[in-house]
Amino acid sequence: DGTVRFENVVFAYDEDRDILHGLDFEVPADGTLAIVGPSGAGKSTLARLLFRFYDPKAGRILIDGQDIAAVTQESLRGAIGIVPQDSVLFNDTIGYNIGYGREGASPAEIQEAARGAALDEFIAKLPDGYDTQVGERGLKLSGGEKQRVAIARTLLKNPPILILDEATSALDSRTEDEIQATLARISERRTTLIIAHRLSTITHADEIIVLNDGRIAERGNHASLLAQN
């Protein structure tokens, strides 16, 4: 489960200016869609619509065949995990940061989520492991480590749909490649991935949609888009 379908979705923040002009696409369950395009293309807007922060002006958004207009924001939050570009961590332990929002998470579940985010090797090197304090008064994490903690935190919720909103854009390309490889593995384990990204460096996506000014400019996979351009 976790099929996402946009049916001719039109959206405007202000009555007189449409931001998305009839977007039509489907992400099959467990598939990976990368939405690429320049800043202002509408990628974050699309993610906000999936959470029902806003509703479309026309068209429908369906998850597993159900129009999300009939679904509460709360239950959508349970179905969709999101990792933003610059995840904010608490000045607390790594374990606390991964388990945050899941009060009853057991150490085994936290470990499992860390493994899913490929954090286990890093944590094993820390003398205090999961009890390591991070942030201002503790260990300063690199951008990549922070994003992995954020991914682990999101994985702990087991969301059928995972949205990465420029989650690796601020990282150096080697770290980005490593995290994208981790994401490729995650999507094999019953998770639908939607990745919003400035550049088409997401080689593992089943489909890439190039968004420009709220319209689909091109679509294909990494190889076919490279061949065209």
Q: Which is nearer to ligand ADP, 27 or 156 (CB)?
A: 27
> Least distance to ligand ADP from the beta carbon of 133, Å?
29
Nearest residue (CB) to ligand ADP, 152 versus 167: 167
Least distance (Å) from ligand ADP to the CB of residue 12?
Answer: 9
Q: Which residues bind ligand ADP (CB under 6 A)?
A: 13, 19, 37, 39-45
Toward ligand ADP, which CB reaches closer, 18 or 176?
A: 18
Closest CA to 25 of 76, 60, 67, 66: 60
Q: Quick check: helix, strand or coil at residue 227?
A: helix
Nearer to ligand ADP, 115 or 215 (CB): 215
Burial (CB count within 10 angstroms: exposed 0-12, middle 13-18, buried 19+), residue 226: exposed
The bridge status of strand 58-63 relative to strand 4-14 is antiparallel
Q: How far is the CB of 119 from ligand ADP (least distance, A)?
A: 25
Closer by beta carbon to ligand ADP, 44 or else 182:
44
10: exposed, middle or buried (Cβ count in 10 Å: 0-12, 13-18, 19+)? middle
Cα R_g (the chain), whole angstroms? 18
Question: Whole-number minimum distance, CB 45 to ligand ADP, in Å?
Answer: 3
Q: Whole-number minimum distance, CB 44 to ligand ADP, in Å?
A: 3
Could you tell me the CA-to-CA distances from 221 to 20, 41, 65, 130 in Å, in that order?
22, 19, 25, 39
